[in-house]
Amino acid sequence: MYGGGYIFEEPNNRQVREEMLHDEPEKLAAFEERIARGEKIEPGDWMPAEYRRQLIRLIEQHAHSEIIGALPEGTWITRAPGFKRKLALIAKVQDEIGHGQLLYNAAETLGKTREAMINDLLSGKSKYSNVFNYPAKTWADVTVIGFLIDAAAIVNQVANSKGSYGPYCRALERICYEESFHLKQGHDAFIELATGTPAQKEMLQDALNRWWKPIMHFFGPPDKASLHSEKLMQWKVKMASNDDMRNQFLDMYVPKIWELGLTLPDPLLRKNPETGRWEYSDPDWDEFFRVINGGGPCNEERLQVRKWAEEHGRWVRKALMKPAEKHSLPVA
């Protein structure tokens, strides 16, 4: 998991900087030709400053999402029903933290240090996927996260793994391989509740009702509200539009929810047989932006837990620091 399908804007810098698209026209042309041919860009290659900036933002947010995303699930390790579910959840949470490490490394190859990224997360400057600002109230929430949020993340990550930046693609290949287990164990736990006792079904339906809005938000605002996708798509930083990814997700997973006799809290949700596209009610984009800006039910707790960890682990890290050592970035 957990690549948020949506790359958040930096608050003070909402658009691709036009002037940066025009520096070193010859190198830029060669760079764009290389991407058009399907070649990967590697850390030492020349790249436009804007490409570097956008990639750092994308990969860093993805990394933060993995780390923060492990918190609502980690909460349930001690309460997971049964030995096998507990083992699977521990393994999944460990994987997510591992994915965070892989992604931080990929972002570091672009020149931003790990410490700078963590500082930006803790200060609230860097964002992470919005879904993790919602609480996991019951075990059914964990199954909805494990099944549907992971599924949505896979749609996004499979698309991104075909992008242009080599280190990010390599990290995503490993991540997608591990995700297949996350999705399967989530689906399995989801089915168990859906086909279980009336109380289990009710608990699952309740979780689904609460999570549907954040899930619809997962891939970001509609394309018509997206200002600068074109250049990012040409550079293969963004591989599919928000609406296309959302549609693909609905296509793959709504039938899997309906076939279990569950409902979704949107009376307008349907696939238009003529266009082949899914139609749905407005999922309240105001709430989406409110939650990004710190107004979600769990924003504060997530960052506080992260700060607590940073503070309480500090003495170990400092004891092992080697200040005289020359610091290096990953080479690939």
Instruction: Using CB under 8 A, list all residues that contact another protein.
Output: 42, 44-46, 75, 78, 94, 98, 101-102, 105, 108, 113-116, 118-119, 122-123, 135-137, 170-171, 174, 178, 300-301, 303-305, 307-308, 310-311, 314, 317-318, 320-323, 325-332
Longest dimension (CA), the chain: 66
CA dist 184 and 190 (Å) reads 10
| Nearest CB to another protein, comparing residues 33 and 223 | 33
Contact status, residue 140 vs residue 193, Cβ threshold 8 Å: yes
Minimum CB distance to another protein, residue 90 (Å): 11
CA nearest to 189, candidates 301, 298, 310, 73: 73
CA nearest to 238, candidates 220, 251, 217: 220
| Nearest CB to another protein, comparing residues 123 and 263 | 123
State the CB neighbour count (10 A cutoff) for residue 271: 15
Minimum CB distance to another protein, residue 144 (Å): 15
Minimum CB distance to another protein, residue 327 (Å): 6
| Nearest CB to another protein, comparing residues 113 and 195 | 113
Task: Determine whether 286 is exposed, middle or buried from the number of CB atoms within 10 Å of its CB (0-12, 13-18, 19+).
Answer: exposed
Cβ contacts of 278 within 8 Å, gap of 6 or more: 246, 247, 250, 251, 254, 269, 270, 271, 272
| Nearest CB to another protein, comparing residues 99 and 231 | 99
| Nearest CB to another protein, comparing residues 43 and 221 | 43
Q: For helices 198-217 and 166-194, what crossing angle results, to 10°?
A: 150
Minimum CB distance to another protein, residue 241 (Å): 30
Minimum CB distance to another protein, residue 225 (Å): 31
Minimum CB distance to another protein, residue 119 (Å): 6
Would you give the end-to-end CA distance of the chain in angstroms? 22
| Nearest CB to another protein, comparing residues 100 and 186 | 100
| DSSP one-letter code for 278 | E
Minimum CB distance to another protein, residue 305 (Å): 6
CA dist 192 and 93 (Å) reads 21
Contact status, residue 155 vs residue 252, Cβ threshold 8 Å: yes
State the CB neighbour count (10 A cutoff) for residue 101: 14
Minimum CB distance to another protein, residue 103 (Å): 11
| Nearest CB to another protein, comparing residues 136 and 193 | 136
| Nearest CB to another protein, comparing residues 265 and 294 | 294
